[in-house]
Amino acid sequence: MADDPVLPTGEKVPDEIVRSALIHANAEKLFAIISEPGWFINDGEYREHTITRDGPVTQVVDPVHGTFQLAIEAREPPNRVRFRWLGGGLGEISDAPNNTVEFVIDPAGTAKRNLVRLTVRERGFAKLGLDESLRRRNYEENFRGWEQQLAVARELAEGGPREADEQSAGAEAKG
């Protein structure tokens, strides 16, 4: 059940969450989805975000959840991207308690099958400095949430091209 605890009572909150999903798509298509800052800010359904960059900081505005700040720490197409959630106001990225969210795409099938494994790894719960019950709640919400986000990535990658890809495909067909 969604409200059942992820962690046994009394167990210390781990520093990281690791979740994976098999996706029938090629790495390049999936990377185009997961490399968009904040694509994973949603409620199990992909929404367009307003994204602006100011130096190392990317601001993501979600129409439902509000404004978030991220830094892109690593971008290695088509296999890996890592974001850092930024807390507090603008300043040195290393000054604020924050988590990293890394997505890794690994081949899981043959060239004929276009099957990849997408793994998400969120780290940094131990550094959040929140009281244990709040840290536990955040961990458990995110643990469940990554299942939703992996399903969103799967749906986008397996369900055909995104709107921008459809527009360019339509232009190529006319040209």
Identify the CATH number of the domain defined by range 18-174: 3.30.530.20
Domain boundaries, the chain: 18-174
Mean pLDDT of the chain: 83
- The answer on pLDDT for 165 being more than 70 is no
Cα angle 87, 139, 72 (rounded to 5 degrees) comes to: 40
Label residue 3 by pLDDT band (50, 70, 90). low
**What's the confidence (pLDDT) of residue 128?**
76
pLDDT at 111 over 80: no
Is pLDDT larger for residue 9 or for residue 45?
45
| Residue 169 pLDDT | 38
Locate tokens 């790495």: which residue? 27
Nearest-angstrom CA–CA distance, 173 and 169: 6
Among residues 90, 92, 85, the alpha carbon closest in space to that of 128 is found at 85
Residue 33 has pLDDT above 60, yes or no: yes
What are the pLDDT digits (tens) for 43-99?
888 999 999 999 888 999 999 989 989 999 999 999 999 999 875 444 444 455 678
